[in-house]
């Protein structure tokens, strides 16, 4: 079976408010800008992107499960679920796809409750604190893992 040339882009709770919510932390780019950045980075390498954002954990988990048969990897910014959701981590682990974890801000320089990521141990790529541009780098690095140009 050939590997699909599609990535799932997952953005968790409150990321629909990008450009509005705390612009001093998250900047002025919108979720639409983020999706375009990922689509452009993926297209440059011959990949398509399916994007989902939800404020509901179960919706994200269902999309991750679906990606098991339709996607080659997952780029995810779990938002606050990063620090709280074992079930999201288990969904990512359970589908056995390479994962890139992205955070717009540097979570390790923020409140102490943000310092732990349940996703970190299942992700093969971590891009943290590079703003929305970090999504492009995470996408490129993840594709390198998928196509065998980097170790995952």
Which of 103, 108, 116, 126 does the annotation list as catalytic? 103
Asked if 103 and 125 count as a contact pair (C-beta separation under 8 A), the reply is no
Q: Does 83 appear as a known binding residue?
A: yes
**Does the annotation count 135 as an active-site position?**
no
The residue count of the chain comes to 152
Q: Does 61 appear as a known binding residue?
A: no
As given in the structure block, the two tokens for residue 31 are: 């979720």
Q: Does 105 appear as a known binding residue?
A: yes
Beta-carbon contacts of residue 109 (< 8 Å; ≥ 6 apart)? 129
Q: Does 115 appear as a known binding residue?
A: no
**Does the annotation count 56 as an active-site position?**
no
Strand partners, 74: 8, 99
Q: Does 126 appear as a known binding residue?
A: no
Q: Residues marked as binding?
A: 77, 83, 90, 104-105, 114
Q: Residues marked as binding for substrate?
A: 77, 83, 90, 104-105, 114
Active-site residues, by number, are: 26, 103
């Amino acid at each position: 079976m050939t590997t699909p040339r599609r990535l799932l882009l997952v953005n968790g709770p409150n990321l629909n408010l990008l450009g509005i919510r705390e612009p001093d932390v998250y900047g002025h780019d919108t979720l639409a800008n983020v999706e375009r950045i990922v689509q452009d980075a993926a297209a440059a390498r011959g990949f398509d992107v399916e994007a989902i954002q939800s404020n509901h954990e179960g919706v994200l988990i269902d999309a991750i499960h679906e990606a098991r048969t339709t996607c080659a990897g997952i780029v995810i910014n779990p938002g606050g679920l990063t620090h709280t959701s074992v079930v999201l981590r288990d969904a990512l682990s359970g589908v056995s796809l390479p994962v890139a974890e992205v955070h717009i801000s540097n979570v390790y320089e923020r409140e102490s409750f943000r310092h732990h990521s349940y996703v970190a141990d299942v992700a093969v790529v971590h891009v943290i604190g590079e703003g929305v541009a970090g999504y492009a780098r995470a996408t490129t690095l993840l594709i390198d893992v998928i196509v065998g140009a980097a170790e995952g």
